[in-house]
């Protein structure tokens, strides 16, 4: 199995607005070897019931990745997606392949 390179939106605080709320700028970085898969029917139903959001894909993130995957955007195949919830992860040493974290994404924009 081989993953592909996707672009991950990384937020950087660049100031505050008149209401003292932070203003962010998003820059995209490449993350290599990411698996892109279809969500299971169970994932589709439970996520829709809990969040009202429809999962488009589940991303398999390589072990050792330290990027922030919550509340951000990703781009691949010429489209933009938004992450849903928190990454699902396990004990890295007990996971057999190169990917140790799952991130759900929905179509965005």
pTM (whole model) above 0.85: no
75: domain CATH number? 2.40.10.270
pLDDT of amino acid 88: 87
pLDDT of amino acid 48: 62
Number of structural domains in the chain: 1
Per the structure, the complete domain to which residue 21 belongs is given by 4-107
**pLDDT greater than 70 at residue 5:** yes
Q: How far is CA 80 from CA 37, 44, 56, 77, in A?
A: 16, 19, 11, 8
pLDDT of amino acid 96: 77
Per-residue pLDDT of 11-67, as tens digits, reads 999 999 999 999 999 999 999 999 999 877 777 666 665 667 788 999 999 998 999
Residue 108 CA to its chain's centroid (Å):
12
């Amino acid at each position: 199995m081989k993953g592909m390179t996707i672009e991950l939106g990384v937020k950087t605080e660049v100031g505050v607005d008149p209401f003292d709320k932070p203003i962010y700028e998003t820059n995209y970085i490449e993350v290599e070897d990411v698996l892109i898969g279809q969500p299971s029917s169970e994932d589709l139903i439970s996520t829709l019931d809990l969040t009202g959001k429809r999962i488009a894909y589940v991303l398999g993130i390589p072990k050792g990745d330290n990027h922030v995957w919550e509340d951000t955007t990703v781009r691949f195949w010429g489209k933009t997606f938004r992450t849903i919830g928190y990454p699902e992860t396990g004990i890295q040493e007990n996971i057999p392949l190169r990917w140790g974290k799952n991130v759900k994404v929905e179509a965005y924009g």
